């Protein structure tokens, strides 16, 4: 069941709190620096880069490390679970606590996330994700069309 986001409210810039938001470390100093000091709980972070740049590997390493102390979920839509497991094994990553899901349906991912309640979830890659009722003019699904906003609204 989709969650309707709260109605946005106009605020004066001077009324917005300047208090630092709590963050947790990714376990990687440079990644934390790029993220402004770590991950803000409840935030959505989009990692971009050229194919083969290492985005998936960085996120897999991060989640494997964080899974030792928090509930995590890695959702893969491009690679099979076996491919991800083989990469983790090749890198010598701790895999015992990382929850994995192979899925491209946004509705299914949100339902499972609601059931599993991960503290941190990675979706790799939002470009292949889709919603059942979002179609192109030719009746074809449009993977990746505005999916970051859809995840923010639904999950």
Q: What is the pLDDT of residues 24-59, one digit of tens each?
A: 999 999 999 999 999 999 899 999 999 999 999 999
**CATH number of the domain that 83 lies in?**
3.40.50.300
Residues in the chain: 155
Average pLDDT over the chain, rounded to an integer: 86
What is the structure's pLDDT at 7?
79
Task: Count how many domains the chain has.
Answer: 1
For residue 123, the cross-strand partners are 75
The whole-number pLDDT of residue 4 equals 53
Rounded to two decimals, the pTM is 0.78
Place of tokens 């015992």: 96
User: Is position 113 within any domain?
Assistant: yes
pLDDT digits (tens, 9 = 90+) for 112-143: 999 999 999 999 988 899 888 765 444 454 44
For residue 57, what are the domain limits? Answer: 50-154
Q: Is residue 9 part of a domain?
A: no
Q: Which tokens go with 150?
A: 């859809």
């Amino acid at each position: 069941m989709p969650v309707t986001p709260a109605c946005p409210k106009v605020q004066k810039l001077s009324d917005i709190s300047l208090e630092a938001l709590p963050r947790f470390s990714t376990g990687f100093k440079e990644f934390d620096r790029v993220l402004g000091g770590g991950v803000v709980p409840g935030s959505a972070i989009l990692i971009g880069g050229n194919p083969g740049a290492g985005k998936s590997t960085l996120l897999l390493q991060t989640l494997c490390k964080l899974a030792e102390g928090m509930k995590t979920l890695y959702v893969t839509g491009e690679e099979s679970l076996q491919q991800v497991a083989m990469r983790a094994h090749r890198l010598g990553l701790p895999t015992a606590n990382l929850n994995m899901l192979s899925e491209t349906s946004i509705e299914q991912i949100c339902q499972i996330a609601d059931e599993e309640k991960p503290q941190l979830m990675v979706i790799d890659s939002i470009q292949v994700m889709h919603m059942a009722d979002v179609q192109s003019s030719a009746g074809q699904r449009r993977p990746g069309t505005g999916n970051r906003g859809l995840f923010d609204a639904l999950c």
